[in-house]
Structure 1
Amino acid sequence: MIVANEKREGGNASRDVLSRPVLQVRGVGPVMASHLAKKGISTVEDLLYLIPRGYEDRRTITPVAEALPGTKATIRASVVRSTLKRFRRRTVLDVVFRDESGAITATWLNGNPSRLRQTFASGDPFFLAGAVSLRGDAKIMIHPDVERIREKDADPVHAGKIVPLYSETEGLSGKRLRRVMAGLLEDHPEVLYTPLPADLCRRRNLVGLDEALRNIHFPPVDADFDEYNDRRSKAHRRLIFDEFFFSQLRIALKRADLLSEAGVEFRTDGDILETFSTILPFNLTGAQKRAVKEILADMARPRPMHRLLQGDVGSGKTVVSMIPMIVACRNGFQSAVMAPTEILAMQHYD
């Protein structure tokens, strides 16, 4: 459960930020919005809770000469040239990049190579991230994540950091989702807070919800990669706590509503427990007697009873449940026994 903060930079109210349609998010058009809708994402809040399925550590920038085939690497290099080739009735784009240590070729086999080629002007610097392999003696990357380095890009989205990996579907690439998420968080600084009491957050050592969501999508540069990838970070812990907390709160509120309703005030006086005990071929244990007395006390109240009887296998739960059923019968009501399997149902019947 998250709500929009009343204050933002400039003092504008932003209570409606989270309920805004994703079409109002920078970088999301009608086509992408339709793809997001298929994933159940229609509002800004839904988009914020599109939690990464994992992460990739791209903090280390590796020189081309040190990028080993068979490994993943993040490289900073400049465009040397680009060429289009026809191969088995498809157009292939090859872009050669070079840094001070050597050259590497990035290859794209799908999409629109002619249009993609326009992205790579000679001399432009880029980040490349992907798996390194060999084509003959030359190092290559096939379909790497690339990001042009601009002066205003003090904080790149796809390289130089722990990068979020999202579940991809048709029309929704991980790269595009990262770009949209980065824009969303940039456009709406400090819009989130939680109604959790501050004292509870301190006692549980919980980070703020705004900080948690931002760090889940874009972990700090100095973060422990394994903690994030295993979902053990403080950011993940905060979201997990919120989910359990509000789940329990909903149950408690529902229970309070149910307890406020009028129920049947059963007559439980008499010696039913003692009488029933005499016809059993064994004596009830102390724990069974305590459970029966608690149940009968609940039944005597004018509010509905909601009780779970727990016990090990063979501890005598069924015989305990028989006594309140007899009480219901003596008060003119029926009872029902539900069993999870046919065999168990037959055992109760017999």
Structure 2
Amino acid sequence: MDAQLDLTRLKGVGPKLKEQLQRLNIQSLSELLFHLPFRYEDRSRIQPIGSLNHQQPAVVQGEVRAADVLMGKRRSLLVKLADHTGTISLRFYHFNAAQKKQFQRGALVRCYGEARRGASGLELYHPEYQILQDGQEELPDARLTPVYPATEGISQQRLRLLMEQALEFLRADSVPLTDLLPPEWLAQWRLPTLKQALLFLHQPPTDVRLEQLMTASHPAQRRLILEELLAHQLSMHRLRSKVQQDGAPVIQPDGSLRQQLIDSLPFSPTGAQQRVTDEIIADLAKPLPMLRLVQGDVGSGKTLVAALAACQALQAGYQVALMAPTEILAEQHFINMSRWFEPLGVKTGWLAGKTRGKARNQSLADIANGDARLVIGTHALFQDEVQFSQLGLVIIDEQHRFGVHQRLSLKEKGNLDGQSPHQLIMTATPIPRTLAMSAYADLDTSIIDELPPGRSPIQTVTVSDNRREEVIYRVAGACQNGAQAYWVCTLIEESEALQCQAAENTAAELIEQLPHLRIGLVHGRLKAQEKAAIMSAFKAHELDLLVATTVIEVGVDVPNASLMVIENPERLGLAQLHQLRGRVGRGSVASHCVLLYKTPLSMTGKQRLQVMRDSQDGFYIAEQDLMIRGPGEVLGTRQTGLQTLRVADLQRDGELLPAVREMATHLWDNHPHVVAPLIDRWLGEAERFAAV
């Protein structure tokens, strides 16, 4: 690290404090300057003590009248402070003898805190304070006081003192912070320079509109937000260009295998499926690796689009790998693909983590010698020992379950004379536009925005769990009239064992209450064959009611199932609820989904269930999910890049993204020298970690 950026240049920073600062991802002076306040307090005016109200944050100044240690339930130090308008108590639960000694009778103290009602009237709990020396009637700060994200062992006071020193270095130009945006952009957007923006945000004057700072609409904040979003876009650009450096096999459209597949189906592809397939075929014919994301709402027929894309590569003599995040979904794909492709003379292979012994060795051999042309599996396909003969196309289902860049390791598998395989990524979790433009900026996007004909709308109702008996009675009635139903058990604990236990208990209870119904149970701990047997029995209508954990969230298709009960829906995200609900409504019968919630519901719980009642549009639901939960959770925590947004907020700043995309392309083409420094400034370690 450059010596002039080392934190030990600041007074008071030794090895211990340096280590604590690392917990805040601060390892250099410039990283300290980018550690921005998350709110501000106005401490520029001293309030008369007599005018304070409950829960009012304020600066007060007065004389110490008494300081006593009280031995109640908890030992505390109580300091009485008075000015000409009244008296207030300062209460400290954590204090030492030296602190008590500071509060001599008659000492002048200025402190800041929130007044609250306590045992002795209004009290300030653990206020920040300063003992003023005789004649030191210094004026309060004429700037707003910043409040920083902190960590154990580093107080706000300590952070502010370090920041004061760092800002002195910045003023003296001792920290090399280059302005990386073209000056004409700053003029066009009316933005300050980087140095001006940082000085302002660490020490804003009191005449600034506080609400402007709180909504991040001040030009100093916009300047940093713009730069950070640009860094993320450029990081995705760089990722894409790395992937495309190798080139890819040119797969020309012939279309005869595709036509054979279409002719063998009992239905025709929808217009949307046809359009997206055409986009993919155009990509495959280019000498660059395709990087395409296909989004389709629940039941829109992504699997068929994947199969039609696979036809193209298979016919040209290449292998195709299809990877899914769970065994149950991978199995579902394997069943569908085998049914479609085996009659056309294409051998399908299978590989999952649980494939062992002889079966595994046989699978690996078939993949390596090219006998298995279409290979389906879980992330076991990533493993080192898996070698393909001629991998031309990789299809990844539910990409957000795998982490942003994990898919790049499959690219190594296809190295055909220095060329990369094409990549098709599919998701049934519609991604809000703002997220797609940032998290998936390295991908082209296609949307299947049309459901196959004959699908029935799903009526969704919310019912409190004290009406559980009534719900069981309704399920019994529906099943006796020939319908089939799912009963989904969710548990807040991550533990699969507890989820399975809950499902087993619910199944036992329902079997006892509904002896005339054929009831099955499926959960994540069953062996693959058991799961498959139960699912096919349900599909063949040998079972009326299927009790399940959320393993049935994706890929299960039983057109006769028209009723679903989801227990504790408030514990799931909207996207997952929408996925689960999509298991019904696959036939022409009117379908129902009952959300059986536990009372009382939190505000967020109420919001989520209301969204589910109001809409069946996956994109609307995804937008609402983003508003309720934020981007990190919607995409899954493995989306490393987005977790590192420091000043930008995709929800709040989403409208900047179209401009940011154009600006990123402009910088990439016309100012390539600023690309790496920009990415490094904002993503640093995170980008290197993301590129795994």
Q: What range is the shorter-chain TM-score in?
A: 0.7 to 0.9
Match in the other structure for 1:6: none
Q: Secondary structure at the match of 2:53?
A: coil
Query: Measured at CA, do residues 275 and 109 of structure 1 come closer, stay the same or move farther in structure 2, by a change above 3 Å?
Result: closer
Query: Measured at CA, do residues 148 and 16 of structure 1 come closer, stay the same or move farther in structure 2, by a change above 3 Å?
Result: farther
Q: Secondary structure at the match of 2:253?
A: coil
Match in the other structure for 1:171: 153
Q: Distance in 2 between matches of 1:333 and 1:222?
A: 67
| Counterpart mapping for 1:21-170 below 5 A | 21-77=6-62, 79=63, 83=67, 85-88=68-71, 97-114=81-98, 117-118=101-102, 126-132=109-115, 140-147=123-130, 161-170=143-152
Q: Distance in 2 between matches of 1:97 and 1:206?
A: 45
Query: Measured at CA, do residues 38 and 155 of structure 1 come closer, stay the same or move farther in structure 2, by a change above 3 Å?
Result: farther
Q: Which has the higher relative contact order, 1 or 2, with Cα contacts under 8 A spaced 6 or more apart?
A: 1
Q: Distance in 1 between matches of 2:314 and 2:119?
A: 86
Q: CA deviation at 1:129?
A: 0.8
Determine whether 1:258 maps to 2:243.
yes
Q: Secondary structure at the match of 1:242?
A: helix
Q: CA deviation at 1:251?
A: 0.8
Query: Measured at CA, do residues 221 and 148 of structure 1 come closer, stay the same or move farther in structure 2, by a change above 3 Å?
Result: farther
Preserved contact between residue 82 and residue 117 of structure 1 (Cα < 8 Å): no
Q: Distance in 2 between matches of 1:153 and 1:272?
A: 88
Amino acid at match of 2:96: N
Preserved contact between residue 61 and residue 160 of structure 1 (Cα < 8 Å): no
Q: Secondary structure at the match of 2:22?
A: helix
Preserved contact between residue 197 and residue 221 of structure 2 (Cα < 8 Å): yes
Query: Measured at CA, do residues 23 and 108 of structure 1 come closer, stay the same or move farther in structure 2, by a change above 3 Å?
Result: same
TM-score by structure 1 length?
Answer: 0.76
Q: Secondary structure at the match of 1:309?
A: strand
Larger CA deviation: 328-337 vs 311-320: 311-320
Amino acid at match of 1:345: A
Match in the other structure for 2:302: 317
1:216 to 201, 210, 232: 201
Determine whether 1:237 maps to 2:219.
no
How many residues of Structure 1 are paired with residues of Structure 2 in the alignment?
330
Preserved contact between residue 92 and residue 113 of structure 1 (Cα < 8 Å): no
Amino acid at match of 1:30: P
Larger CA deviation: 22-31 vs 98-107: 98-107
Preserved contact between residue 258 and residue 311 of structure 2 (Cα < 8 Å): no
Instruction: Provide, for residues 104-138 of structure 1, a one-character-per-residue CA deviation record: whole Å limited to 9, x for no partner.
Output: 454544333425745879565x5321133577777
Determine whether 1:304 maps to 2:286.
no
Amino acid at match of 2:32: L
Larger CA deviation: 284-293 vs 331-340: 284-293
Q: Distance in 1 between matches of 2:59 and 2:103?
A: 19
1:284 to 258, 261, 269: 269
Instruction: Provide, for residues 156-181 of structure 1, a one-character-per-residue CA deviation record: whole Å limited to 9, x for no partner.
Output: 5xx55432223443321112212221
Preserved contact between residue 254 and residue 312 of structure 2 (Cα < 8 Å): no
Q: CA deviation at 1:200?
A: 3.3
Unpaired segments of 5 or more residues in structure 1? 1-14
Instruction: Provide, for residues 215-256 of structure 1, a one-character-per-residue CA deviation record: whole Å limited to 9, x for no partner.
Output: 333333122323434545444433333222111101112212
Instruction: Provide, for residues 253-291 of structure 1, a one-character-per-residue CA deviation record: whole Å limited to 9, x for no partner.
Output: 221222221322224335444444333333334443343
Q: Secondary structure at the match of 1:175?
A: helix
Instruction: Provide, for residues 62-88 of structure 1, a one-character-per-residue CA deviation record: whole Å limited to 9, x for no partner.
Output: 1122123553321244x45675x4544
Q: Secondary structure at the match of 1:73?
A: strand
Preserved contact between residue 115 and residue 122 of structure 2 (Cα < 8 Å): yes
Q: CA deviation at 1:16?
A: 4.9
Q: Distance in 2 between matches of 1:214 and 1:153?
A: 27
Q: Distance in 1 between matches of 2:31 and 2:103?
A: 32
Amino acid at match of 2:227: D
Amino acid at match of 1:50: H
Amino acid at match of 2:110: F
Q: Distance in 1 between matches of 2:90 and 2:123?
A: 6
Q: CA deviation at 1:320?
A: 2.1
Larger CA deviation: 26-35 vs 174-183: 26-35
Preserved contact between residue 88 and residue 121 of structure 2 (Cα < 8 Å): yes
Q: CA deviation at 1:42?
A: 1.9
Aligned alpha-carbon RMSD (Å)? 3.7
Match in the other structure for 2:314: 329
Q: Secondary structure at the match of 1:335?
A: strand
Match in the other structure for 1:199: 184
Q: Distance in 2 between matches of 1:211 and 1:119?
A: 40
Preserved contact between residue 42 and residue 206 of structure 2 (Cα < 8 Å): no
Q: CA deviation at 1:205?
A: 4.6
Instruction: Provide, for residues 4-39 of structure 1, a one-character-per-residue CA deviation record: whole Å limited to 9, x for no partner.
Output: xxxxxxxxxxx958x722221234333322321233
Match in the other structure for 2:354: none
Higher helix share: 2
